Structure 1
Amino acid sequence: MTVSRFTWYCGAELPGEVMAAALENYQFEPHFHDAWSIGAIAEGSCSFSCAGARHAAHCGELVVIPPRAVHTGGAADGRLCYGMAYIEPAWFDRHATLFDRGGVQFERIVIADEALCAQWIAALAQSGMSDRARTHALSAALLTLLARYASPAPPGPAADTPNAAGRAERTDAEPIAHPAAGTSASTELRGLLASGAPAKADVTTVARRWGIHRTTLVKHFAQRYGLPPDAWLRNWRIARAKTLMMHGMPLADIAALTGFADQAHLTRVFKRIHGSAPGVLRKALARPPQG
């Protein structure tokens, strides 16, 4: 039987959302977040993919996933309990610049460090903790993580290739025809999809403009961004919807603004990506701040 329980902690003083989860036989579909996703496994183990590479994380280990890196998650066997922080990139960067002003990266997605995992679990899973105390605990845990495991990021812009996380571990990626045109077409298509005017983001039209076949463009896009265009657009819409939820906008209005057919459609897609319905997150947002 599939079992899932999600508890969200949200607050104006927090540097993002915090979630505590308990799962049995539950799997998330491939998705991404705009935030740094840092999780601590308190019980059980999980098997997941990130940027096309397979990983396993066990009790006492951390999972660190950069923004917009496509990944799965969940528990295939037994019970899995973990805490997760979705940390705003700007807040993360303010901590990271203390170590390297050019940005940082992590060589591993899964980090085995029981003491540090316990520090993150304490920051993530305790109910009744004030927002200020939780923010302080997250800051201390993040600084320790950066000090022990971060390394300087390679020079040059990396924002356009979020699916590079873990790519070095892949050995099964096959070359796709027309690499230069495919890269340029993929970049243009993603820009159109993210512009809020997806009607202009016709895959066939963009492919024709760059002299390649529609199927070739879809393959290039999926290899570069981790998902085919239609799935990437659904995820992007959910990320925008989540931001609007944080500002208190009604779900029906959010659905209309982000391109979903209606509130029910938004709810179904949100639950596939985040595990819980948007109402669970809305209730967490409605709680009075913890002093």
Structure 2
Amino acid sequence: MSDKHITGWTIAPQHGVEVVSARMGPHGLDGHFHDAWSIGVILEGTCSFRAGNREYEARQGDLFLIPPFEVHACSAASSDVRYKVLYIGDTCLQKIDAGRFSALANASSRVFTAPPLAGHIAALDTRHVDAPRTDALLRALAALLPSPRETRVRERELHPLQNAMHRLWQSDVEAGELVERLPHSRWHTLRTFRSQTGLSPSAYLRQLRALKARFLLNQQQASLSDLALLLHFTDQAHFTRTFKAVFGVTPGRLRKVIQRR
């Protein structure tokens, strides 16, 4: 059960970046993922989370970095946690050394300490994206990351079923149909998918559609029931439950936060 409260969120697709500030109580969030790099700083408290089958603890002032589509679950180890996070998309990464971020997906840790960078992230305005400041932050961050040559690792590949979902999430298709289209047996596909992602195919597809919904909330004035149908949820309640599992708040609440800026 989530007890998260988002206090600010701005979306700037033209820059490929979102800036979010939030507060989370001890219940945290169950396993979920994002479709962009999550780069954040703990402003207050201590956050425990699991990502890539490893346990982490991020304390006040620590930075956390989670690759796109990596399922993670988090909770507050203290009574309350405040944090600020950037969601960095491909548009933004192309301005810097994206290869370093790819290498990080194979790194052994998701938490590190860099006080100056943490201070800059903490100072970002969640009502307006300042592109020059964001670009400077990303370049500073890239300088801290290992180069692909230093790590000597191969960029992780998405599961074939993930690739199919990423192509077809807008279509009126169920996860089971996509499983049947793959050349391997159903048992093999389900086993390898859950092992690699940590979610069932149905849960993954629902979360992927919910992730896309935040852009629709920002761009359209359609009702939540209409958005639910557009994203192929059975009804608004189903859409709201999935959305809250990913973001910790309802779509109606997030729309109000986004439009408040």
TM-score range, shorter chain: 0.7 to 0.9
Report if the CA contact (8 A) 1:41-1:83 is conserved.
Answer: yes
1:149 aligns with 2:151: no
**Measured at CA, do residues 34 and 215 of structure 1 come closer, stay the same or move farther in structure 2, by a change above 3 Å?**
same
Paired with 1:146 and 1:199, the residues of 2 have a C-alpha distance of 38
**Measured at CA, do residues 8 and 150 of structure 1 come closer, stay the same or move farther in structure 2, by a change above 3 Å?**
farther
2:173 is aligned to 198
Using the TM superposition, name which of 225-234 and 37-46 deviates more: 225-234
User: What do the CA deviations read for 1:79-131 (whole angstroms, capped 9, x no partner)?
Assistant: 2111011122221221225xx6x8643233111122221221112xx56x643
1:79 is aligned to 80
Using the TM superposition, name which of 107-116 and 266-275 deviates more: 107-116
Task: Map 1:186-225; keep pairs closer than 5 Å.
Answer: 187-188=160-161, 190-191=163-164, 194-195=167-168, 196-199=171-174, 201-202=176-177, 205-206=180-181, 210=184, 212=185, 214-225=186-197
User: What do the CA deviations read for 1:48-104 (whole angstroms, capped 9, x no partner)?
Assistant: 11122221111111011111111112314322111011122221221225xx6x864
Task: Map 1:42-81; keep pairs closer than 5 Å.
Answer: 42-81=43-82
**Measured at CA, do residues 192 and 61 of structure 1 come closer, stay the same or move farther in structure 2, by a change above 3 Å?**
closer
Residue identity matched to 2:4: S
Paired with 1:192 and 1:46, the residues of 2 have a C-alpha distance of 31
Report if the CA contact (8 A) 1:203-1:217 is conserved.
Answer: no
Paired with 1:94 and 1:77, the residues of 2 have a C-alpha distance of 37
2:6 is aligned to 6
TM-score (norm 2): 0.83
Residue identity matched to 2:87: Y
Report if the CA contact (8 A) 1:27-1:74 is conserved.
Answer: yes
Report if the CA contact (8 A) 2:6-2:257 is conserved.
Answer: no
User: What do the CA deviations read for 1:176-196 (whole angstroms, capped 9, x no partner)?
Assistant: xxxxxxxxxx51575157512
Unaligned runs of 5+ in 2: none
Report if the CA contact (8 A) 2:2-2:248 is conserved.
Answer: no
Report if the CA contact (8 A) 1:6-1:19 is conserved.
Answer: yes
What's the C-alpha RMSD, in Å, of the aligned pairs? 2.9
Report if the CA contact (8 A) 2:39-2:65 is conserved.
Answer: yes
Aligned residues: 252
Report if the CA contact (8 A) 2:8-2:257 is conserved.
Answer: yes
**Measured at CA, do residues 115 and 229 of structure 1 come closer, stay the same or move farther in structure 2, by a change above 3 Å?**
same
1:254 is aligned to 227
TM-score (norm 1): 0.75
Match of 1:264 among 237, 243, 246: 237
Helix, strand or coil at the partner of 1:73: strand
Report if the CA contact (8 A) 1:193-1:201 is conserved.
Answer: no
Report if the CA contact (8 A) 1:189-1:203 is conserved.
Answer: no
Quote how far apart the aligned CAs of 1:146 are: 0.7
Residue identity matched to 2:132: H
Paired with 1:137 and 1:68, the residues of 2 have a C-alpha distance of 26
**Measured at CA, do residues 224 and 197 of structure 1 come closer, stay the same or move farther in structure 2, by a change above 3 Å?**
farther
Percent identical across equivalent pairs? 29
**Measured at CA, do residues 146 and 190 of structure 1 come closer, stay the same or move farther in structure 2, by a change above 3 Å?**
closer
Residue identity matched to 1:145: L
**Measured at CA, do residues 75 and 191 of structure 1 come closer, stay the same or move farther in structure 2, by a change above 3 Å?**
same
Using the TM superposition, name which of 259-268 and 4-13 deviates more: 4-13
2:215 is aligned to 243
Paired with 1:120 and 1:193, the residues of 2 have a C-alpha distance of 30
Residue identity matched to 1:282: R
1:112 aligns with 2:87: no
**Measured at CA, do residues 192 and 138 of structure 1 come closer, stay the same or move farther in structure 2, by a change above 3 Å?**
closer
Quote how far apart the aligned CAs of 1:157 are: 6.2
Paired with 1:216 and 1:25, the residues of 2 have a C-alpha distance of 37
